[in-house]
Every structure is written in C-alpha cells, then in structure tokens.
Amino acid sequence: MMLRVAALLVAAMLVATTDVAPAQDALKKDMVGQWELSTTERSKTCVVTLKPDAAGQGSKLELEPACKAALPFTKDITAWSVKGLDIVRLQDATGEAVIDFTEVEAGIFEGLRQGEGVYILQNLAAARSMAKSMDQMIGDWAMVRGNGQPICSLVLTNTESGPDNFQVFIKGKCDPAIAQFAPTQWRLERGQMILMSKTGDIWQFEADDNAQWRRVPDTADPLIMLRQ
C-alpha cells in the first residue's frame, strides 16, 4: 500500500513538472529582450536587457549604468529567471529574489518590494510609446456635450500630484455638473484617461475612433474630451 501511494505521488509530481516546463519555456522566450523597470508613475526608470544565456542560477541580464542611481535596489540584481508558471524573478548572486514580477496585462508586469512599493516591468518599446502618449496629453482640452457644445475648458499638466497622478486645472466657468465634480488630478491608466476630484470621485474616458475621449460608461448625452 505504501509503495502504491509513493508511486502515485511521484506520478503526480511528474505530471505537475510536465505542465510547468512548457509554460516556463514560453515565458522565458517571451521575456528575452529590452524592458523598462520603473516606479508606477515612471518618475524613475531604467532599461533592463534580459538575455537567454545561462548565468549562475539564472540567465544573463544587463542593466544600463543609470539604473543604480535611479533604483538603488538594482545594484543587487545579477541574473533573472522564471519561477512557477508566471513569476519573472530578478535575483541576486545566490538566486534569491530581489523582486518578483507577475503579469497583470499583456506585456506589463508588477512587483512589490516591502517598504518601498510597487514597481513596473514592461516592454521598452511599449513604455516609450506610452511616454510619448503621455506627452501628447499635456495641454489645453475642451469638454463638450455629444452635440459639440463646449461646457468646460481644462488644462492637463505634467506636474506630479501624489503617486501616479498629475495636476489638472479648470479654466474659466464650467457647466454646473463639471464645476461640482471639480477635477484636480488626472492620469493615464490601461488605455483610459482618468479624472479625479479632491473628494476621490473618478470619471473615466476612453479614446474612440475619432481621436476623442468619451466618458464611460457611455450615455445618450455623452461627455467628450477634445484636444485644443
């Protein structure tokens, strides 16, 4: 009986290993290349190049020279590896995790360092594209009704206002509904423009096919943000 139980346990372990290995190999292949490691608001960034070559207990990587100054914990990173089904580990010389990342959406990974906060690892080209998109958002905007009637003017700035957020200002008089909401902060988050009030209320906007940003969920009398 004992031998049978032991045999079943070994078989189960072999099946689990068989399931994990292809997933690990696929993730390793996908991760090879250049990535941006950053704080969530991207105020501090560095470029990490993940390589397929073996290095000690993991695979080789290169950190750009500016990394240690921007993100001091990176001085301990000597290699990378994939653990389990979906953990990308940046590790020290002993194989211990400096920071572990898990994918939260396609090409974007999040990792937590206790006492410091959340860090983002994302494809370098996508990160730079996002930065360009962020730059394009800075400036004057008009909020209009679905019929095109302007009801408010706003200025989106790149002045930081707390983690991940930036200041927004209202120019002149606005429709009472907008004046009551009174947005003070904004950010880009997973393809949406987020406006936030001082009280924590949130309005979400998504870009449509006409290069406009429409408030979601949509209504019969939509609110639209137009770049000026």
Predicted confidence at residue 22, as pLDDT, reads: 78
Assess whether 73 and 144 both reside in one domain: no
How many other C-beta atoms lie within 10 A of the C-beta of residue 22?
10
| Greatest Cα pair distance in the chain | 83
Assess whether 91 and 166 both reside in one domain: no
154-162: average pLDDT? 88
Is 177 strand, coil or helix?
A: helix
Distance CA 204, CA 188 (A): 10
The pTM assigned to this predicted structure is 0.57
Domain termination site, one of 129, 162, 191: 129
Q: Which domain holds residue 59?
A: 31-129
Distance CA 204, CA 195 (A): 6
Distance CA 181, CA 144 (A): 15
179-227: per-residue pLDDT in tens? 999 999 998 877 788 999 989 899 999 887 556 888 988 788 889 999 8
Average pLDDT, the chain: 85
Is 200 strand, coil or helix?
A: coil
Per-residue CA distances from 41 to 13, 122, 176, 220 (Å): 42, 13, 31, 34
Amino acid at 110: E
Assess whether 162 and 108 both reside in one domain: no
Assess whether 98 and 57 both reside in one domain: yes
55-97: per-residue pLDDT in tens? 888 999 999 998 999 999 999 999 999 998 889 999 999 999 9
187 in Cβ contact with 164 (< 8 Å)? yes
Please tell me the total count of domains within the chain: 2
Domain termination site, one of 83, 100, 129: 129
Predicted confidence at residue 109, as pLDDT, reads: 93
Domain at 36, CATH number: 2.40.128.10
